[in-house]
């Protein structure tokens, strides 16, 4: 019942940190090529955010994310995405990196008009920085993802629903993940674009490991994109509730964040 409810709620929005890092590019990525193309496109994002969490473990969050279309075969594409995320606190020093997160996704997609359906292989591993760690924390998953991009008047929207089945995990008690995300962007002036995003994620767990139930994460963002000659700068204000924000201490953490992203689409 919980899994069914999660899937229904996810469909209303449209998943977590790595997927969130991918900007509104589905309209470009879903444009079929007339013939097979090798290395047909790439997108890069680099950003940092100041966290207001009331917890000295979570002070800054920095990300480097890139994805590349390895092959576009007209009906779809093969895409590889990698992300590195660093979490900084101020426990030991002013800028104290305490966690590193690595995410890898490999997608094979099929286009259906404005929709793109993907099967994917997902890997996430979490590490401590400047601290002793003997316990591995990682998981692998097989997933499915549906993306739809539409333009309504002057507003471009992107909706995504995604479901992951965890096939292997170490320390983490996750068994499945279902998420939904909705993004929009609207041109305000020739050089500025208004941004908005909302997402909701549900994580199923093996209750025999830590005695807990389904975990819920959420993200809300508003921002503005300033266009440049070679890329763009996003300025954002957001709220996040992150499941298991600490790699080794189970439990959600919430914060408000203010930050920027350098984007090359």
Q: State mean pLDDT over 191-198.
A: 96
Q: What 3-state DSSP class applies to 1?
A: coil
The answer, yes or no, to whether residue 195 has pLDDT greater than 90, is yes
- Per-residue pLDDT tens for 67-97? 999 999 999 999 999 999 999 999 988 899 9
List beta partners, residue 252. none
What is the β-pairing status of strands 232-242 and 253-264? antiparallel
The answer, yes or no, to whether residue 26 has pLDDT greater than 50, is no
> For the chain, which domains are there?
2-264 (2.40.160.40)
How far apart are the C-alpha atoms of 49 and 145, rounded to whole Å? 27
Cβ-in-10-Å burial (0-12, 13-18, 19+) of 9 comes to middle
Q: What's the mean pLDDT when you consider all of the chain?
A: 89
The whole-number pLDDT of residue 33 equals 65
* Burial track 114-125 (b if 16+ CB lie within 10 A, e otherwise): ebbebebebebb
Inter-CA distances, 39 with 76, 77, 80, 121, 216, Å: 13, 10, 11, 19, 36
Task: Report the phi/psi class of residue 59: left, alpha or beta, with left for phi > 0 and alpha for psi in -120 to 50.
Answer: alpha
Find the radius of gyration of the CA atoms of the chain: 18
The answer, yes or no, to whether residue 9 has pLDDT greater than 50, is no
The pLDDT confidence band at residue 131, using thresholds 50, 70 and 90, is confident
The whole-number pLDDT of residue 149 equals 95
The pLDDT confidence band at residue 115, using thresholds 50, 70 and 90, is very high
**pTM, two decimal places:** 0.86
The pLDDT confidence band at residue 107, using thresholds 50, 70 and 90, is very high
The whole-number pLDDT of residue 56 equals 93
The whole-number pLDDT of residue 132 equals 82
The whole-number pLDDT of residue 27 equals 39
- Per-residue pLDDT tens for 208-250? 999 999 999 999 999 999 999 999 999 999 999 999 999 999 9
How far apart are the C-alpha atoms of 172 and 206, rounded to whole Å? 9
């Amino acid at each position: 019942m919980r899994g069914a409810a999660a899937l229904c709620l996810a469909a209303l929005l449209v998943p977590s940190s790595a997927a969130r890092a991918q900007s509104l590019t589905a309209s470009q990525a879903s444009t079929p090529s007339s013939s097979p193309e090798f290395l047909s496109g790439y997108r890069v994002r680099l950003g940092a955010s100041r966290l207001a969490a009331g917890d000295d473990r979570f002070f800054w969050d920095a990300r480097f994310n890139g994805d590349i279309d390895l092959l576009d075969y007209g009906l779809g594409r093969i895409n590889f995405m990698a992300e590195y995320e660093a979490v900084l606190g101020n426990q030991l020093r002013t800028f104290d990196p305490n966690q590193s997160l690595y995410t890898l996704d490999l997608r094979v997609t099929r286009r259906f008009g404005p929709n793109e359906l993907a099967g994917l292989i997902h890997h996430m591993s979490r590490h401590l920085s400047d601290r002793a760690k003997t316990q591995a924390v990682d998981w692998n998953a097989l997933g499915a993802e549906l993306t739809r991009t539409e333009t309504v008047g002057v507003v471009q929207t992107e909706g995504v629903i995604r479901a992951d089945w965890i096939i292997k995990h170490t320390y983490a008690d996750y068994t499945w993940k279902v998420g939904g995300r909705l993004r929009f962007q609207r041109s305000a002036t020739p050089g500025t674009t208004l941004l908005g995003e909302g997402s909701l994620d549900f994580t199923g767990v093996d209750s025999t490991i830590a005695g807990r139930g389904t975990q819920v994460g959420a993200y809300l963002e508003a921002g503005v994109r300033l266009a440049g000659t070679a890329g763009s700068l996003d300025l954002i204000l957001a709220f996040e509730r992150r499941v298991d924000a600490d790699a080794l201490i189970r439990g959600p953490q919430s914060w408000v964040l203010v930050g920027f992203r350098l984007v090359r689409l």
